[in-house]
Amino acid sequence: MLLPAASPAGAQEAIYLVRHAERADQSADPPLSTDGVGRSHRLRDMLKDAGITKIFTSELRRTIETAAPLAAAIHVSPKQIPAESNALAAQIAASNARDRILVVGHSNTLPALLHALHVEPPITIADDAYDNLFIVVFPRDGRPVLLRLKY
């Protein structure tokens, strides 16, 4: 589980966070289902003009496959970060001030990352919810602003 970062990632323009799309089965590292592949293409269509400069996924296939259509469309190579690690918060904090970052994570890792980014109130993601798009923006003064959309 992620712990709060020592300093928030307030330098980035925006951080987009999604849970991986629907998986084919409940095995340890399944591919996306047909519905999941469709959702990954909707994510691509929604964010292809958002100015994403970095993409982070976990090492699991379902996050990699969720990010793949967008990564190919915008020519950004995703970086795999272990899902249960503080390394992701550190990578975000170390990013350039002009970066717009997409994180493809899991229902149990995204709430912890949002907490590490000082987003309040705490967020939960239901086991059957694959359609959340969280956007965190950082005003020059004040707390991060969270937008929660569906896609």
Specify if 92 maps to a domain.
yes
Model's pTM, two decimal places? 0.90
Please tell me the total count of domains within the chain.
1
For residue 63, the domain's CATH number is 3.40.50.1240
Report the alpha-carbon angle 100-101-102, nearest 5: 135
Q: What is the mean pLDDT of residues 13-32?
A: 96
Domain extent for 65: 14-130
Condensed to tens digits (0 to 9), the pLDDT of residues 81-90 reads: 986 667 888 8
User: Cβ atoms within 10 A of the Cβ of 28, count?
Assistant: 7
| Angle at CA of residue 77, ends 134 and 87, nearest 5° | 60
- Position 4 scores a pLDDT of 42
115 located within any domain = yes
In a domain, 110, yes or no: yes
Give the C-alpha separation, 35 to 4, whole Å: 34
Asked if residue 119 belongs to a domain, the reply is yes
Statement: residue 99 has pLDDT above 90:
yes
Confidence of residue 2 (pLDDT cuts 50, 70, 90): very low
Q: Is residue 85 part of a domain?
A: yes
Domain presence at residue 137: no
Q: What is the pLDDT of residues 32-60, one digit of tens each?
A: 999 999 999 999 999 999 999 999 999 99
What pLDDT digit, counting tens, does each position of 103-125 carry?
999 999 999 999 988 898 899 99
User: 127-150 burial, b for 16+ CB within 10 Å, e for fewer?
Assistant: eeebebbbbbebeeeeebebeeee
Question: Rounded mean pLDDT of 131-149?
Answer: 92
Q: Do the domain assignments include residue 60? A: yes
Q: How far is Cα of residue 57 from the mean position of the Cα atoms in its chain?
A: 7
User: Is 24 a member of any domain?
Assistant: yes
